[in-house]
Amino acid sequence: MVKFVIKRRLELDFLGAEWKKAYIVFSSFKPTEMKQVIEFEENTEPVKLMDKMTAMLTEHFIEGKGYDEESKKLQPIRKSDLSDMTLAIFDRVISLQRGNIAIPKS
């Protein structure tokens, strides 16, 4: 059986100049997971939906680098950082998972 792991990388430079080389990488959701997301969106209050989506993104997280305001440097993003992810990033990651944002060819 083939295990499909498709990486979806989101460049975070849209957040400003200091984020120029920042990025976040997730494995793509499987069709069965997207079906769960759609069903959950239709039948769940927004707070529980955010919790579910954050848990799914944490499960699919591979790697990333983000701008740290304290050190003024790019730092590795850890799974534990995802719960503090801004909505600007969160919305784009969900759009990327849905296929609404094109994946750049490498």
Write down the pTM of the prediction: 0.82
- Segment (H or E) for 106: none
SS3 of 51-98: the string is HHHHHHHHHHEEEEEEEECCCCEEEECCHHHHHHCCHHHHHHHHHHHH
Confidence of residue 23 (pLDDT cuts 50, 70, 90): very high
Confidence of residue 72 (pLDDT cuts 50, 70, 90): very high
Kindly state the tokens that stand for 70.
């304290």
pLDDT in tens, 54-70: 888 999 999 999 999 99
Angle at 25 between CA 22 and CA 26, to 5 degrees: 155
Does residue 74 carry a pLDDT above 80? yes
Across the chain, mean pLDDT equals: 87
Give every CB contact of residue 88 below 8 A, 6+ residues apart in sequence. Answer: 14, 15
The whole-number pLDDT of residue 50 equals 82
The whole-number pLDDT of residue 103 equals 57
Confidence of residue 35 (pLDDT cuts 50, 70, 90): confident
Each domain of the chain, given as residue ranges in start order, spans: 7-98
> What residue type is 80 in one-letter code?
S
The whole-number pLDDT of residue 102 equals 61
